Amino acid sequence: MTLPETHPLRDGRTADSALVTTYRGVRGDRTPVWFMRQAGRSLPEYRELRVGTRMLDACLDPAMASEITLQPVRRHGVDAGIFFSDIVIPLKLAGVDVEIVPGRGPVLAQPVRTLADVSALPDPDGADFTAIEQGVALTVAALGRTPLIGFAGAPFTLAAYLVEGGPSKDHIRARTLMHADPEAWEGLLSWAAAVTGRFLRAQLLAGASAAQLFDSWVGSLSKTDYVERVAPFSRAALEPIRDLDVPVVHFGVGSGEVLVPMHQVGADVVGVDWRLPLDEASRRLGGGVTLQGNVDPALLAAPWPVLEAHVLDVLRRGRSAPAHVLNLGHGVPPETDPDVLTRIVELVHERGGAAAEESR
């Protein structure tokens, strides 16, 4: 199966956009820029719209999810929207009892810690993604030539929440289960891969022009554990979209030791956190992989000249990769002054890209 003919990548709307061409490894006249968590609490218009609506209810209201997705695109002039949703939405739609507690994160009514718990998980085929498809379709219609990025959580990061029952520091219980009960672990990760892969496919078929797989908590793993007990399931999560010819970004926090295997699960682009300079990330990846990143979110609150110098340094180091999409090294902190993000977009559009490089 391929994308429908009316999909923005096929009908001429987004195939030549700066984001999509860069994700395909071609450095153009402009370095595209978007921000992880660009939609959300840093924007007063988001805080206003969300009053009285719970996080996951907002995600499942197509008109609200679409409006929230569009807010940062209008305000900052970023090169992409990222669909407003959450990595736990597919779990909820499959029937898992999960809520997002403000200031804390996803919390499950019943943690999944044994083989019996894994066997009792609902059928991934039972998840109905209609609300997501409607939200994506509304968003894509409003975005015109600006591409929408669809996303999903990788199986390990989802398992970190499922096993712990909520946010945790080192994901100790999940990492114990991985070794203590490999059968339960494999069952859990296969389940997570199936449900998160379907979530991603639903967004792409409904109109998203790129995909990002978030393995946010991958940094707590050894390289061996990642390669042997996690990466095969991340590859499985991408299986449902492999026939669609849509560029895939793979991002993790603290991923410096596992950049190569993260690329090898089937990603076109590797997202790098703030710890590793992009020239070093590119060297580790053999020099041929398109990168996304990696402005340190901490510097968003620093004086502009400090932040400006840092952004220019990120652009310079990004030139050691075949192509580069500027982003943060992790999400926008809620207390960020949104005008700072707009200023970064202007700076990157002025100073990034092949044209700026040649005129130097």
**Site residues (CB under 6 A) for ligand CP3?**
36-41, 50, 55, 82, 84, 86-87, 100, 102-106, 151, 153, 157, 214, 216, 331
CB nearer ligand CP3, residue 68 or residue 231: 68
The strand pairing partners of 94, in sequence order, are: none
Residue 251 tokens, joined:
């991002």
Strand 98-101 to 105-108 pairing: antiparallel
Min separation Cβ 340 and ligand CP3, Å: 16
Question: Distances in Å between the alpha carbon of 195 and those of 234, 321, 359, 360?
Answer: 12, 33, 48, 48
Catalytic residues, which ones? 37, 41, 50, 86, 161
Nearest to 228 by CA among 299, 192, 178: 178
Contact 245, 2 (CB under 8 A): yes
CB nearer ligand CP3, residue 78 or residue 307: 78
DSSP annotation of 192 reads H
**Given 3-state DSSP classes, what are the helix, strand and coil percentages for the chain, each rounded to the nearest 5?**
50, 10, 35
Residue 56: how many other CB atoms lie within 10 Å: 18
User: Phi and psi dihedrals of 254, rounded to 5?
Assistant: 70, 35
CB nearer ligand CP3, residue 46 or residue 185: 46
39 a known binding residue? yes
Min separation Cβ 257 and ligand CP3, Å: 18
User: Phi and psi dihedrals of 17, rounded to 5?
Assistant: -65, 155
Min separation Cβ 351 and ligand CP3, Å: 24
66 a known binding residue? no
37 a known binding residue? yes
38 a known binding residue? yes
CB nearer ligand CP3, residue 185 or residue 217: 217
161 a known binding residue? yes
Min separation Cβ 183 and ligand CP3, Å: 26
Binding site listing for substrate: 37-41, 86, 161, 216, 330
